[in-house]
Structure 1
Amino acid sequence: MTSDLASSLWHQTCRENPAFPDFSGEAAADLVVIGGGYTGCSAALRAAELGATVRLIEAEEIGSGGSGRNVGLANAGLWLPPEDINAELGAKTGSRLSALLAGAPEMVFSLIENHAIQCEPQRQGTLHCAHAPGGVKDLRRRHAQLSAIGAPVELLSRAEAVQRTGSDAVHGALFDPRAGTIQPLAYVRGLARAAASAGAQLHSNSPATGISRDGSGWQVTTPKGRLRASHLIMATNAYAREIAGYDAPQVIPVHYFQAATDPLPAPLLENILPGREGCWDTALVMSSWRLDQAGRLVIGGMGALDHCGSALHRSWLARKLAALYPELKDAALRSHWHGRIAMTTEHLPKILDLNGGLACFGYSGRGIGPGTLFGTRMAEALLNGDQSRLPVPPARGHAIAFAGLRSAYYETGATLTHLISDR
């Protein structure tokens, strides 16, 4: 198995497949967007709606990066609870960011409805599950902080969590009714289709090879052409490539892998996630599981599938599935794939001010809602000349010491955990 997008369930079941030409020649636009994921496609859509001329270039196909490899949980908020966000950003900025992200699922599901995006939307909420009795303490803390800012979350007892998940392996859960699940690749490609319908011009297989800025704006070169634009959005996140004239902000690359069963028979679906919530757990090396529209159980965990120890991840996944649902202990897992997450040391997304452009990165595993919000707001801020539209204040620079070593630390920890756990 490889980590190619084509090996994933999302590629195999995607019902949104717009085709976009590569870019060649010369062109001018109000805004050039580099990167065809949630952030870039949301920015292109919003800019086109505002009447701007837009060019989006993607190095491969739309959704080839993290957006097409996502778990598909459209969550409200970030991985950090509100008080931790405030501790990093200050109460005013942190509270504003939490309030904006609380509405991110509504933004996502409204876009899906308004543009008839065929991405299997199921807004049945999510369950943050305690993987052990000690995990309940974390859930109580999160419940208290979220409830204090008005989030309609519900703390479930062990019995309630077992009933909702159909698994005896959970010890409680935090239910968030604002959230839901989607087919993540179909969502980003649906955003791209909507952006094109609004007037944006999108190009696949068109990597940016060079960026420069002069008095007239931005110059972006590709293998076959050159773009000129007044404004620039860098939306490459964890999949940044080397581009002459641009130093991509450092992030900590962390990987996440998944696989899926065949569609489960109806009798099993009566008990396994009967409410179709998406789940993840409180373990330090996190796991997730959910159903797709056809009734496949999609299960995943932290780790990459492109190194000699990846067999440990695959064998653990089968054990994890059996631990959650003993009735699936003999179920085959298919379509293994993995993706890369861009983490920051604070687990918070960042925006960089590029002097006439903006770069965004660091969703730390929460790409769908934040990516949609940040892309939309960056387009508004640039075109309206109003940085107050940005979800977080832009910074002038960003660096992480020993980012590569930190990435290796996470991968080694995940591999060792998967070697010994659920046996």
Structure 2
Amino acid sequence: MRTGSPISLWDISAKEPDIQNPMAGDVETDVAIVGGGFTGLSTALYCAERGVSAQVLEAKHIGYGGSGRNVGLVNAGVWHPPAAVRKELGDTYGPRFVKRFGEGPAQVFDLIEKHQIRCEVTKTGTIHAAHAPSGFKDLQARHAEWERLGEPVDLLSAEDMVEKTGTRAFYGGLLDHRAGTINPMGYCRGLARAAKGAGAGISTGVRATKLRRDGEMWLVETDQGTVRAKYVVLGTNAYSDDLWPDLKRVFTMIHYFQLATKPLAADMSHILPGRQGIWDTGQIMFSIRRDAYDRIVIGSMGTVVGSVGRGLSRRWAKKQLARLYPELGPVEFEEAWHGQIAMTPDHLPRIYQLAPNLLTPIGYNGRGITTGTIFGQCMADLISGMDPADLPLPMTELSTVPSAPIMSRLYQTAFTANQVIKSL
């Protein structure tokens, strides 16, 4: 029986049923997977479809970490424009990475269709919105790159943005037709259902406490028994703990908070009429989207300060909505929540081989839906014998970020200050 409060709006509104399943004694399997989010469940699904036995171990419940707290934007690519990715990864991996991650939304949508996952999917794109003239210049450069690559990305004028968003607050935008939105918890639970249906084992409420070698095998000790496996995949990303030394020190952890309004009145249909998810070019990112039930979900970097009914974050959200859509008048909120994001110094993810047959993808930089799905397939490919040289980026040695704890605190201070300033 699941206990505790819902972790997000998506936890309440997802139509896919939760999967709750304690571990029944010791298990032997081909691959043990720690973490029941996008990465772990994608790994389990792709492994099971290849005839590779897999056992998922989730300490809380399916989607408890960043997967169930996500904004729900199914974006193509990463933070960097294609040219910056090519410069960072080189001529071999750079174009491959850009192509694979550009196809990420299609992979997600194909899985949703194949397994009939109920997750409020839209395929109307997402919009990168210019918060200032400088932001629009950046978007013009990004558009030129995507256009050169032949991708379906449109540059939007300020007037175009009024039509797409219902507000005059933006200086332009970049509409990516490859992208879309989902209920992220619905997608996560759907992946769990699909993986279980394909033959993967899924155990919830089971915490992995220790990893050790047992001859040619790995032994994962948990609070409910042991799992003996040839391979182990750690799919914990920003929610990594001390299971493997220093793993939670390879990224800077930041938070992202969101508040959801009650459903809008029928006469507010001009607000985000195409339901594209939006994020802006500001240094402290802001996002807004409209869900399948006509709630506005608005968020930014930082934690929820206060609660859904009172406090700083609620004041921030009311102020932002009044700035964007003064015609809304007083708004009421249903839910408030925040999650953790693993940010790497270069804003690119990592794949580490921590020890023989011990793998972890990590550092998703706020792009968990597509990255987790793609890397889950990569894990299954590696376990099935793929040459690591065929990955979308090279496997690297684990490298810690010594300044991460300090930077996390500094970022949190700056994000809270931003909420204060923008609530005045």
Report the TM-score, using the length of structure 1 for normalisation: 0.95
Q: Equivalent residue of 2:299, what SS? A: strand
Preserved CA contact (<8 Å) 1:23 1:222? no
Preserved CA contact (<8 Å) 2:306 2:314? no
Preserved CA contact (<8 Å) 2:75 2:370? yes
Preserved CA contact (<8 Å) 1:218 1:228? yes
Counterparts of 1:335 and 1:422 in 2: how far apart (Å)? 19
The answer on 1:299 being equivalent to 2:298 is yes
Counterparts of 2:23 and 2:72 in 1: how far apart (Å)? 30
Counterparts of 1:379 and 1:186 in 2: how far apart (Å)? 23
Q: One-letter code of the match for 2:398? A: G
Other-structure match for 2:422: 421
Counterparts of 1:20 and 1:383 in 2: how far apart (Å)? 28
Counterparts of 1:253 and 1:62 in 2: how far apart (Å)? 21
Other-structure match for 2:317: 317
Other-structure match for 1:54: 54
Q: How does 1:23-102 map to 2 (within 5 A)?
A: 23-102=23-102
Q: Equivalent residue of 1:90, what SS? A: helix
The answer on 1:22 being equivalent to 2:27 is no
Preserved CA contact (<8 Å) 1:378 1:389? no
Counterparts of 1:295 and 1:315 in 2: how far apart (Å)? 21
Preserved CA contact (<8 Å) 1:32 1:232? yes
**Residue 139 of structure 1, CA deviation:** 0.9
Other-structure match for 2:277: 278
Counterparts of 1:303 and 1:337 in 2: how far apart (Å)? 10
**Residue 5 of structure 1, CA deviation:** 6.4
Preserved CA contact (<8 Å) 1:128 1:175? yes
Q: Equivalent residue of 1:342, what SS? A: strand
Q: One-letter code of the match for 1:236? A: T
Other-structure match for 1:8: 8
Counterparts of 1:264 and 1:25 in 2: how far apart (Å)? 49
**Structure 1 unpaired stretches of 5+:** none
Counterparts of 2:393 and 2:215 in 1: how far apart (Å)? 27
Q: Equivalent residue of 1:134, what SS? A: helix
Runs of 4+ in 1 over 4 A off after TM superposition: none
Counterparts of 1:158 and 1:55 in 2: how far apart (Å)? 50
Other-structure match for 1:236: 236
Preserved CA contact (<8 Å) 1:318 1:333? no
The answer on 1:167 being equivalent to 2:177 is no
Counterparts of 1:402 and 1:42 in 2: how far apart (Å)? 32
Counterparts of 1:304 and 1:5 in 2: how far apart (Å)? 17
Q: Equivalent residue of 1:155, what SS? A: strand
Q: Equivalent residue of 1:56, what SS? A: strand
Q: For structure 1, which segment, 208-217 or 276-285, has the greater mean C-alpha deviation from structure 2 after superposition?
A: 208-217
Counterparts of 1:36 and 1:273 in 2: how far apart (Å)? 32
**Residue 389 of structure 1, CA deviation:** 4.1
Q: For structure 1, which segment, 317-326 or 390-399, has the greater mean C-alpha deviation from structure 2 after superposition?
A: 390-399
Q: For structure 1, which segment, 341-350 or 83-92, has the greater mean C-alpha deviation from structure 2 after superposition?
A: 83-92
Q: One-letter code of the match for 1:143? A: H
**Residue 19 of structure 1, CA deviation:** 2.3
Other-structure match for 2:182: 182
Counterparts of 2:398 and 2:16 in 1: how far apart (Å)? 37
Q: Classify 1:47/1:282 alpha carbon distance in 2 versus 1 (closer, same or farther; 3 Å).
A: same
Q: Equivalent residue of 1:138, what SS? A: helix
Counterparts of 2:74 and 2:409 in 1: how far apart (Å)? 28
Counterparts of 2:29 and 2:135 in 1: how far apart (Å)? 51
Counterparts of 1:407 and 1:48 in 2: how far apart (Å)? 37
After superposition, give the CA deviation of every residue in 1:183-226 in whole Å (9 maximum; x if it has no partner): 00110110011000000000001110000124321110101101
Counterparts of 2:369 and 2:132 in 1: how far apart (Å)? 28
Q: Equivalent residue of 1:360, what SS? A: strand
Preserved CA contact (<8 Å) 1:6 1:12? yes
Q: One-letter code of the match for 2:385? A: N
Q: Classify 1:307/1:13 alpha carbon distance in 2 versus 1 (closer, same or farther; 3 Å).
A: closer
Preserved CA contact (<8 Å) 1:5 1:64? no
Counterparts of 1:375 and 1:71 in 2: how far apart (Å)? 20
Other-structure match for 1:404: 405
Counterparts of 2:248 and 2:398 in 1: how far apart (Å)? 8
Q: One-letter code of the match for 2:289? A: R
Q: One-letter code of the match for 2:287? A: S
Q: One-letter code of the match for 1:114? A: K
Counterparts of 2:260 and 2:296 in 1: how far apart (Å)? 6
Preserved CA contact (<8 Å) 2:7 2:68? no
Aligned residues: 417
**Residue 66 of structure 1, CA deviation:** 0.1
Counterparts of 1:51 and 1:331 in 2: how far apart (Å)? 51
**Residue 385 of structure 1, CA deviation:** 4.4
After superposition, give the CA deviation of every residue in 1:349-389 in whole Å (9 maximum; x if it has no partner): 00101321211111100110111001111111122243234
Other-structure match for 1:359: 360
Counterparts of 2:416 and 2:212 in 1: how far apart (Å)? 41
Aligned-residue CA RMSD (Å): 1.7
**Residue 290 of structure 1, CA deviation:** 0.6
Preserved CA contact (<8 Å) 1:318 1:329? no
After superposition, give the CA deviation of every residue in 1:98-148 in whole Å (9 maximum; x if it has no partner): 100011100001100110101000011011111122211111121122222
Preserved CA contact (<8 Å) 2:351 2:396? yes
Q: One-letter code of the match for 1:369? A: T
**Residue 71 of structure 1, CA deviation:** 0.2
**Residue 171 of structure 1, CA deviation:** 1.1
Preserved CA contact (<8 Å) 1:129 1:170? yes
Other-structure match for 1:390: 391
Counterparts of 1:54 and 1:399 in 2: how far apart (Å)? 29
**Residue 246 of structure 1, CA deviation:** 4.2
Preserved CA contact (<8 Å) 2:260 2:334? yes
Counterparts of 1:68 and 1:320 in 2: how far apart (Å)? 24
Counterparts of 1:232 and 1:242 in 2: how far apart (Å)? 15
